[in-house]
């Protein structure tokens, strides 16, 4: 992205507040809440008091309107201290985005100010047991009944479930439609028939709950349907994920930086053969590669977030996918190498690096697996190749590619020799 990435004074201020909270409330308690698998309410209250939940909410709804780049900066600082709490913070943006991108003015006025103040937490209910990467294959239904919708079925892997007060739930409202099959509906905590069932026992990010959410004839008013009409849910989900993926990527950058920082400190303190291991060339190579990749991931994330803030709609989906895929792969690689730097101690839960390793893996999976991200990236590249047709004259080949409506077709042109 050639355009300048502008960090506003507000973004810098919010990131500094996040760093203070991370140092005071998040990092010191990370091991405790990981072991207990409990939510860090003290840190969450500090985040609310500091106005950080206002980061991604527009000014007209009580937020700072600071944008996605500021959200990435805040998320990175929190995830650097505890990747799990970085998730706990960022998932509120994920759950709020369907309302932001598709909600009516009344709906925005109703829910967003409470989210901005940190009075209400949010969750995003899309995945099901048989519908993960295939977001169009949902089975949870919402049937019209007078002035209400009645929701039935169950959702899988609802992050923040039980903690959240507001749930953006994606349901089938027209099973016979291909393009208008799914709608997004807000379900509030305490609604009869809406329950949290299984609480998952996770490998990592253990301080934020991931649960099954069950809907047993949950009746909600039609005014809870996100948007003016049903059938817009798939569009809202895809737009939401484009906005949220830089946040996942920022979690990854924070996690990678946190693991790298620990590895450097340990390498300077650990002596072998009469010298700190940081003086050994093989360890230096590992640390240098970890640092380069983390920094590259950071600026790819900033680029994607900046593109969203600048309204570059034609670039958002591809860049968000690139940032999410690259940064989360980097987080896993850096965490793995950090464990290696720690040696045997890295394998022990007494040391914090083991938690960074466990936390990193989910980043490659949720909000679109990295395999799916590569599919998204490649499809955009293939469509964009139409703009490069002038290069075809320099590629002698037996077949000539032509494009129509973004799809590539191949026509034989006979043999050709360079």
Annotated catalytic residues are 367
**Length, in residues, of the chain:** 418
Smallest Cα–Cα separation from 241: which of 369, 155, 330, 331?
369
Per the CB < 8 A criterion, the answer to whether 251 and 83 are in contact is: yes
Task: Name the residue among 184, 215, 223 with its Cα closest to residue 98.
Answer: 184
C-alpha separations of 361 from 50, 110, 242, 249, 253 in Å: 30, 36, 21, 13, 13
In whole angstroms, what is the distance from residue 150 CA to residue 237 CA?
A: 21
Residue 12 and residue 176: Cα distance in Å, rounded? 49
Contacts of residue 67, defined as CB under 8 A and 6 or more positions apart, other chains included, come to 8, 11, 56, 305, 308, 309
Q: What is the full DSSP assignment across 293-357?
A: HHHHHHHHHHHHHHHHHTT-HHHHHHHHHHHHHHHHHHHHHHHHHHHHHHGGGGGSTTSTHHHHH
CB crowding 291-322: b at 16 or more within 10 Å, else e: bebbeebbebbbbbbbbbbbeeeebbbbbbbb
Q: What is the CA radius of gyration of the chain?
A: 23
Q: In 3D, which of 357, 400, 311 has the Cα closest to residue 3?
A: 311
User: Which residues make Cβ contacts (< 8 Å) with residue 378, sequence separation at least 6?
Assistant: none
Q: In angstroms, rounded to a whole number, what is the distance separating the alpha carbons of residues 301 and 148?
A: 41
User: E strands of 87-239, at which residues?
Assistant: 122-125, 141-145, 148-159, 166-172, 182-188, 194-199, 210-221
Interacting residues of 296 by C-beta distance below 8 A, sequence separation 6+? 326, 330
Tell me the angle at which helices 313-342 and 353-361 cross, rounded to the nearest 10 degrees.
140
Task: Enumerate the β-bridge partners of residue 153.
Answer: 215
């Amino acid at each position: 992205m050639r355009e300048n990435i502008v960090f506003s004074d507000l973004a810098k201020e919010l990131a500094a507040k996040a760093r203070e909270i991370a140092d005071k409330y998040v990092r010191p308690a990370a091991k405790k809440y990981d072991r207990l698998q409990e939510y860090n309410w003290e840190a969450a209250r500090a985040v609310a008091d500091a106005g950080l939940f206002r980061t991604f909410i527009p000014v007209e709804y009580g937020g700072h309107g600071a944008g996605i780049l500021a959200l990435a900066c805040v998320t990175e600082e929190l995830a650097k201290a505890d990747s799990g709490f970085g998730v706990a913070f960022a998932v509120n943006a994920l759950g709020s985005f369907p309302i932001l991108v598709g909600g009516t003015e009344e709906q925005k006025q109703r829910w967003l100010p409470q989210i901005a103040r940190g009075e209400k937490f949010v969750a995003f209910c899309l995945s099901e047991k048989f519908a993960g990467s295939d977001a169009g294959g949902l089975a949870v239904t919402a049937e019209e009944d007078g002035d209400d919708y009645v929701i039935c079925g169950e959702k899988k892997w609802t992050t923040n479930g039980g903690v959240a007060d507001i749930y953006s739930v994606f349901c089938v409202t027209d099973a016979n439609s291909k393009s208008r099959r799914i709608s997004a509906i807000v379900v509030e905590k305490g609604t009869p028939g809406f329950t949290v069932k299984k609480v998952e026992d996770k490998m990592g990010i253990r301080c934020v709950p991931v649960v099954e959410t069950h809907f047993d004839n949950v009746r909600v008013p039609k005014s809870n349907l996100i948007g003016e009409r049903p059938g817009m849910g798939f569009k809202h989900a895809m737009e939401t994920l484009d906005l949220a993926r830089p946040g996942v990527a920022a979690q990854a950058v924070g996690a990678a930086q946190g693991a790298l920082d620990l590895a450097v400190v340990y390498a300077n303190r650990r002596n072998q053969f009469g010298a700190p291991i940081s003086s050994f060339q093989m360890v230096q190579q590992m640390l240098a590669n970890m640092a380069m990749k983390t920094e590259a991931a950071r600026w790819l994330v900033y680029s994607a977030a900046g593109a969203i803030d600048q309204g570059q709609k034609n670039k958002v989906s591809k860049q968000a996918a690139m940032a999410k895929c690259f940064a989360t792969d980097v987080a896993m690689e850096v965490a793995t190498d950090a464990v290696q730097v720690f040696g045997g101690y890295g394998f022990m839960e007494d040391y914090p690096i083991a938690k960074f390793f466990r936390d990193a893996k989910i980043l490659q999976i949720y909000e679109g697996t990295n395999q799916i991200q590569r599919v998204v990236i490649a499809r955009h590249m293939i469509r964009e190749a139409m703009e490069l047709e002038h290069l075809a004259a320099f590629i002698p080949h037996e077949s000539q590619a032509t494009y129509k409506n973004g799809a590539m077709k191949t026509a034989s042109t006979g043999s050709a020799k360079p």
